[in-house]
Chains A and B, each alone.
Chain A
């Protein structure tokens, strides 16, 4: 018997719901086998991975703290991804946004001004957009490949940050550590409770999710971008400009990443250092796809990704699993999630064998 993969006439509604459940079941099965094979108790490992991190208030606070930038950036990126505009440089846009926001926070003449935080917000968004505008311009005008340009711009951003914190912006009172001075209180988001790190910037993410949903699902501009992504010839037939999809897609991603960068420095970090992001900009790409480029899917994807980050740390600390093992486990889950999604649109069909 041979099998052939064929497209379903209509995407399967039942697979849409069943896919994540099947993926979870497969991950637990394969993960348990892997843990058991290596001599770890599968039940307690899985518990440490998924239950322990969120069984305390602090755990929940950390979950939200990490999920927030992931969701925010993924929302911005998904706007472009829907139109086949592949911004994979959100990490760089996040860094530039953080630099601009921190610069405003450090050097604004009145460190107690109530408009300091809003100014930083604007600076972060604008800087992220400006960083994304470079690949947008190059793609719209010269048809360069935005995947390469956005990625390479990330390296530039990382090195620029490194230069700043090692050089001109280094805190003179910081014992020569490569970091800036701490931001004044007026330049920081207020935590809900000083015992936990999560702060009011999560509301930015909530607003972003709603805006993203309105934009992609209801607005005409979002509709045009969806058409550009699904059928470029139909977009030309309808008279939608391709360059407008490129600009909108890249600028949305840049703004979201820039704001996320600003929320990081004005939240848990309070200053710039060479490593300000644990790869949020890249992880958000995965979040966007786990969420099927849909606003509410992205929320779930972001929470899951954040849980994986936390669970990975927990099993390393509590059970002594190696970090590569946790990464393999994370990879297994993501693989099954994306692989089962494939069967929403495709199916196997048996074809009889013949000569």
Chain B
């Protein structure tokens, strides 16, 4: 049988790094093939080469027995290769059908196209109303739009880049059904991921990448996740030490009846949010992205202030009206989800970035002057203690890889010995080894007495380190769940708004039928 896609000795280097080093693999028609690897392993580069966004320095690509030379995305689509990016490329202010019409270069016949969209999306079990504006769609629905856009071209090979990173567990199940149906009809699928359980559930074969090289290929259903993880990481995985928590008597963070309008039209209004976090415990905030996490965390960190001071109390003191610096004075520290441009100033050096939040509590500023020596020492300590790969305190923040910069930012905030530690997406885009290291440090901080609030979209992470869980959905926060007394299904239902979520599904069904 001729493989649908075959890569032979693909090599691609960028200045300073070899992103893909002599990579070969082949995918049969109708098979789902995983490309596994940590962030920075070279998965995205490889997909860009297959899709024609980037050109390999050497090596060959064969499709259905024919060699592809010097191609670009347009010629790839002509060959039946389609790609769904991790970050969607949709115009928010126009409707689904208009978005799709823009990318389908044939005739601009919206009526026919809308009919095709309705037909296809229903056939693959992911109904979508072609006349809704993208702005009003959830992230999961937007992904459907992207997939339907690809399906309209009747692809022979579909590439999906980390498709589940934005989905709730239930939506993941639905996506998998669609993909299996597609494969059964003969379409090959390349599934890029770093999530082992998903790959084991869905994929027929897998190629594992590390540092741009193939480190193994496997049949995921017959391989243990430990073996796969070793191929990905290369060394033995660190094990998490979870000590039982001893919560303090008095809460360190109290949120009482916090109601707030959306920060802008992309924000979400918060409705009567109340919870508390005690010293010595880790509370997780679960939720599908875009349900008010960003608004809530900005109000807790002081990046946004609230007219009513008493809605947020830190260490017993009303803090709702204080700015971030003043809240830090009360013992708060915060790791935001955007590292570059928010958690760190990209062109500034690491020691300068240490001054960003450690100016007062770290004692890096005296008499209004920055103590450069001390700041450099502080940065050096973080680099050593948190094993940050950097040339030294004078490296610029933007020269670090995402995972290393995250270690630096987490390290900086932990080094301030906060009473209250807020972390948003602590291990987003961070490789498995660094993620485990960061989680362990968060755990250690909490067991040393700090109150920790972790906002994350990864349920596995929350279940691994949290003592209690909160779920945010459409700006409302659930009552706390004890980690040991709940499960993924319960949390997943709360994430989708349980019965409310069903309502939405039904309504969109109706809209589609009309």
Contact = CB atoms under 8 A, between A and B. Distances in A.
Interface in B353-381: 355-357, 359, 365, 368-370, 372
Interface stretch (A20-28, A159-167, A219-227, A267-275): A219-227
A218 B343 CA distance: 22
Given A233-B341, A354-B72, A238 B357 contact: yes
B342 A9 contact: no
B327 A239 contact: yes
A220 B375 CA distance: 12
A278 B398 CA distance: 42
Give the interface size class of chain A: 20 to 34
A5 interface: no
A9 B72 contact: no
Given A231-B346, A234-B344, A355-B71, A239 B370 contact: no
B370 A231 contact: no
A238 B325 contact: yes
A223 B303 contact: no
B370 A9 contact: no
A234 B369 contact: no
A220 B346 contact: no
A233 B346 CA distance: 11
B509 to A, nearest CB: 40
Interface in B311-342: 323-328, 334, 336, 338, 341-342
Interface string B56-70: 000000000000001
Contacts of A355: 70-72, 75
A230 interface: yes
A82 B328 CA distance: 26
A223 B338 CA distance: 21
A249 B356 CA distance: 19
A354 B347 contact: no
B396 interface: yes
A223 B325 contact: no
Contacts, number: 82
A239 B357 CA distance: 9
A137 interface: no
B356 A227 contact: yes
A1 B365 CA distance: 51
Contact of A227 (B302, B303, B343, B345): B345
A79 to B, nearest CB: 15
A205 B396 CA distance: 32
A238 B323 CA distance: 9
Given A9-B16, A220-B369, A221-B368, A237 B71 contact: no
B55 interface: yes
Interface in B264-313: 301-303
Contacts of B16: 9
A341 to B, nearest CB: 14
A231 B324 contact: no
Given A227-B345, A237-B336, 11 more contacts: A9-B399, A218-B372, A223-B355, A226-B352, A230-B345, A231-B341, A233-B342, A234-B343, A238-B325, A349-B15, A354-B70
Q: Sorted from nearest, which 4 A-B pairs have the closest CB atoms?
A: A239-B325, A239-B324, A233-B342, A231-B345
28 contacts: A9-B16, A10-B395, A218-B369, A220-B368, A220-B370, A221-B368, A223-B370, A230-B347, A231-B342, A231-B344, A233-B338, A234-B341, A234-B342, A237-B303, A237-B342, A237-B343, A237-B357, A238-B325, A238-B357, A238-B359, A239-B302, A239-B323, A239-B328, A240-B325, A241-B323, A349-B15, A352-B55, A354-B72
